Amino acid sequence: MGGQAKGKKKNKPKRKENRPNRDAGFVGLTPQERVKLRMHEKAKKKTSEKYSVQQLLEKTEECIDSFDFEMAGLFCQRALDVESTNLQALDMLGHIYSELGDVQKAKGISFNKYMYLGQIHTGQEAVDYYTRGIQVLLSTLDKQAQTTAQAGAAARPDEDPELPKAKDVCVAYCSIAEIYLTDLCMEEGAADKCQRVH
């Protein structure tokens, strides 16, 4: 009984991976967090290819009109993933967070984001961000004053460091004045605009 001769195992060389290291930006994350981050990046790319920011904001408005704030938040966040400095999307997201009862996130979106955007932009664009931030701050301070008046002297608004203060408005006005004295100093009527900032 002859057995068949065993064939020699062919040693195939292992294929080298020529792909770049996809995990380079995920150092220190758990595997679940990496997968979630990759899925988010993939969804963001797919969304930006399929839908414009305007279309996403229209869907956000439809969801707000039907009181589906959770879904509105998802559409609005997608719009911000595509264009992170869109003022309309930032306004909507702040409104959505306040409707969902997440006051801390709403405050963070509402005025801090505008202040940060004002810092990273230059010229008239920075002035526009600061101006919008000031509007939100003043509105928040008015609501805060009304709440304090209704609650009486028992609730002191200056105890919470997260709450905006009049000082924040002053800092924003100073930032606008500084822009008119530097970036926009050559613009016609810059001195007048600087004096009329408030």
79 and 86 Cβ atoms separated by less than 8 Å: yes
**53 and 91, same domain (yes or no):** yes
Read off the pLDDT of residues 44-96 as tens digits, 9 standing for 90 and up: 666 656 788 889 999 999 999 999 999 999 898 888 888 876 767 877 887 78
Query: In the listed set 101, 125, 145, which residue is the last one of a domain according to the structure?
Result: 101
In sequence order, which residues have a C-beta less than 8 Å from that of residue 172 and are 6 or more positions away? Answer: 115, 118, 130, 133, 134, 137
Q: Which domain holds residue 136?
A: 107-198
Structure letter (DSSP) for residue 30: -
The CATH number covering residue 90 comes to 1.25.40
Judge whether 78 lies within some domain. yes
Stated pTM of the model: 0.47
Read off the pLDDT of residues 109-124 as tens digits, 9 standing for 90 and up: 667 777 777 887 888 8
Q: How far apart are CA 185 and CA 144, in angstroms?
A: 36
Collapsing DSSP to helix, strand or coil, 175 comes out as helix
Judge whether 182 lies within some domain. yes
Judge whether 140 lies within some domain. yes
**115 and 183, same domain (yes or no):** yes
Q: How far apart are CA 64 and CA 171, in angstroms?
A: 33
In sequence order, which residues have a C-beta less than 8 Å from that of residue 129 and are 6 or more positions away? Answer: 87, 114, 115, 117, 118, 121
